[in-house]
Structure 1
Amino acid sequence: MAAPAPHGTQTLTEHHWAPERHGRITSLCDETVASTPGIRSLSHFGNGILDFVVCRTDRRPLGALIGDLGDERDEESLPGSRLLLSTQDIGVLLQPLGTGELMRTVVSNREGCLWGGRVKPGEYLAAVTDTADGADAMDTSMNALVTRIRREVHRLSDELPGGDSTAKPGLSAVDGGRMPLRVDFGTAATPEPAYEERLRALWLGHVNTTDLQYAAYYRDWTLVCAGDVFESDDLGPKFLSVSVRARRTAYRELSRSLRGHLIRLADALGLVAPAQAGRPAVERLVLDVQEGAVYLVWTSSREFLVGVTLDQTQVANADAQLQRLAGAVRGVTEPPR
């Protein structure tokens, strides 16, 4: 059933979805799409089943990319559905970290972005943008939408998806050297003192106890270097159930484990935003859990960085800090072997 709306959007519902019983959720979703031009479509799922899709009426058909499925709801919801299926498995990988459930996933490249999130157990949203500059606005709007549905419909507390916009970011340096920054070099690093010192200086300038508390640099899925401030006294309460050593090991194992899942994420993103030739299929991945987030940012088709924050209020700030570190790493030339 298609229900036209007055702002250039259309709501396509499944039979089991009763607007008279669930109208507030439907109207909040429609309002979000209408007020965020970058959102191509938004899908609502309950217990793994599609409930409805809100989409823009001026969008180009997806059939040319994914093939004609015979149902507009199925075509529009397919990228988000595949994203949410992938996040179920990724959520299992994150459980040993002891930082809570995966509640928001963002996967993007220069052509578009997919957003997937948990409103509460059994209720999920997915959103799509197929414009290069639509990702940030969609992310902001979808985070706000989840919070509104939780508060206004379910009377639940705010889990701060995307972090707290009022939180102050960390210092650009590790507090005059008083915070213990540990940097380890992997087998992909060239053992040249000047090169290692340049990388160490970058980690000193970006990794801190406030927002970005861990960052690792990989080339061809092999570690170049990893640094963290996990041994700081300020972070002591974060390691009551998972030790510093275990957490360092877990993040390295997570980086390796995500390699196979990224193929599925790239396939989902490719349905709406095929990568440019010579560019990574996925250029940014955010895994936002209840206590912080894990980020992956590609600096080239061979190289990427992993970042971590353990503070939910600092999720946006840590994301921005890792982006700055990634930009700086691009300027560090590997010495000849």
Structure 2
Amino acid sequence: MAAAPHPETELFTESHWSPEAHGRITELCQGAFAGVPALRSVSHYSNGIIDFVVRRGDCPPLSSLVTERGEDIANESLPGSRLLLCTQDLNALMRPLGTGELMRVVLANARGGLWGGRVKAGEYLSALTDTPGGMPAADEAMNGLVSAIRTRVHHLPDELPGGLAGPPEPLPEHKERLRIDFGTATAGHDGLSEMRLRALWGGHVNSLDLQYAAFYRDWKLVCAGDVFENPELGPRFLDVSVRSRRTGYRDLAQNLRGHLARLTDALRLVVQPPADRLVLDVQEGAVFVTWLSPRDYVLGVTLDQRQVGHAESRLHELADALRELTTTEGN
């Protein structure tokens, strides 16, 4: 069933949709499109079942591989449905880390991408953008939408998806207790000397936002460094030890390769892969993956939910420095 309740969007609903149950949430979803031309569509799910889709008007079909005439709600919600299935598996994979439930996933590249998020247990949203460079704006809009539904409809606390906005805080002035371990992929690359890598990690990994980073080439560990042993981070390890957390992030990096195929299948329904950005935002921080090439990537972690956005920005700076270093090495 389709309706036209908003001049900029189209609304597609399933038969169980009702204004009493879904009306306020639908209005908030429609409002998220204001001033965000990159946002293509937003889908709402209850217990894994699609409730409605809001789509920007006059959108072309996503893909001839997906589109079925007259099945707008199924066509538009399919990429998000696949992303949410992946999210369930990733949530189970991350739960032993003790940082809470997975509440936001971003999978993107320069051409666009997918966003998936948990409003509360059993209630989920997904969003698509097929606008080049559009994911940052779509991501910000969706983070705000989730917070609005939680606080204004369900009267629940804001979980700060994406972290706090605003300028980053100054880094601590004291010397960080950086631990860095080197993997087998370091050997044989003169440009990736341990001294250079240690300097890079010392300039980016810190106790404020980006507390862990690991670099992988051809899926093999080059190095991993963290400041988990800094005293101010001690309360973060009451339930999960520093050693277990380090092991957990290495295991996560290894297991991500197996999930990447399904994530890529979901992305392909919206834009041409590969992805160059993956965000796994949990209740206490986030895990980020930035790809340097299809087989080389940097994985970063923050344990502070307020600093999620700033930590990802710092990881991107580290990734840029590694690109420059590896380019120099190749020349």
**Normalising TM by the smaller chain, what interval?**
over 0.9
Query: CA separation in 2, counterparts of 1:230 and 1:167?
Result: 24
Say whether the 8 Å CA contact 1:3–1:12 is kept in structure 2. Answer: yes
Match of residue 145 from structure 2 = 145
| Matched residue SS, 1:118 | strand
Query: CA separation in 2, counterparts of 1:4 and 1:200?
Result: 57
Match of 2:181 among 178, 181, 184: 184
Query: CA separation in 2, counterparts of 1:212 and 1:330?
Result: 19
Q: Does 2:314 align with 1:321?
A: yes
Paired amino acid for 2:316: Q
Query: CA separation in 1, counterparts of 2:61 and 2:293?
Result: 31
Q: Does 2:92 align with 1:95?
A: no
Query: CA separation in 2, counterparts of 1:5 and 1:329?
Result: 49
Query: CA separation in 1, counterparts of 2:191 and 2:83?
Result: 42
Query: CA separation in 2, counterparts of 1:169 and 1:218?
Result: 29
TM-score by length of 1: 0.93
1:23-68 C-alpha deviation (Å, 9 max, x unpaired): 1101000111243211111000001000000001121112424242
Paired amino acid for 1:285: L
Say whether the 8 Å CA contact 1:214–1:227 is kept in structure 2. Answer: yes
Distance 1:194 1:161, change over 3 A: closer
Q: Where in structure 2 are there 5+ consecutive unaligned residues?
A: none
Query: CA separation in 2, counterparts of 1:330 and 1:59?
Result: 36
More deviation in 325-334 or 146-155? 325-334
Query: CA separation in 2, counterparts of 1:299 and 1:108?
Result: 14
* 1:151-230 superposed matches below 5 A: 151-166=151-166, 168-169=168-169, 171=171, 175=173, 178-190=175-187, 195-230=193-228
TM-score by length of 2: 0.95
Query: CA separation in 2, counterparts of 1:49 and 1:315?
Result: 29
* 1:1-337 superposed matches below 5 A: 1-68=1-68, 70-166=70-166, 168-169=168-169, 171=171, 175=173, 178-190=175-187, 195-275=193-273, 281-333=274-326
CA displacement at 1:193 relative to structure 2: 9.3
Query: CA separation in 1, counterparts of 2:166 and 2:62?
Result: 38
Q: Where in structure 1 are there 5+ consecutive unaligned residues?
A: 276-280
CA displacement at 1:225 relative to structure 2: 0.4
Distance 1:67 1:12, change over 3 A: closer
Paired amino acid for 1:310: L
| Matched residue SS, 2:32 | helix
Query: CA separation in 2, counterparts of 1:21 and 1:193?
Result: 59
Match of residue 278 from structure 1 = none
CA displacement at 1:305 relative to structure 2: 0.2
| Matched residue SS, 1:100 | coil
Paired amino acid for 1:131: T
Measured on the aligned residues, the alpha-carbon RMSD in Å equals 1.7
Say whether the 8 Å CA contact 1:167–1:313 is kept in structure 2. Answer: no
| Matched residue SS, 2:293 | coil
1:262-299 C-alpha deviation (Å, 9 max, x unpaired): 11111001101013xxxxx1110000000000000001
Query: CA separation in 2, counterparts of 1:39 and 1:266?
Result: 20
Query: CA separation in 2, counterparts of 1:22 and 1:254?
Result: 36
CA displacement at 1:166 relative to structure 2: 3.9
1:57-100 C-alpha deviation (Å, 9 max, x unpaired): 12111242424265110000000010001000000000000000
| Matched residue SS, 2:240 | coil
Query: CA separation in 2, counterparts of 1:22 and 1:248?
Result: 42
Distance 1:7 1:237, change over 3 A: same
Percent identity of the aligned residues?
Answer: 58
Distance 1:30 1:193, change over 3 A: closer
Query: CA separation in 2, counterparts of 1:137 and 1:97?
Result: 30
Query: CA separation in 1, counterparts of 2:119 and 2:296?
Result: 33
> How many residues are paired up?
328
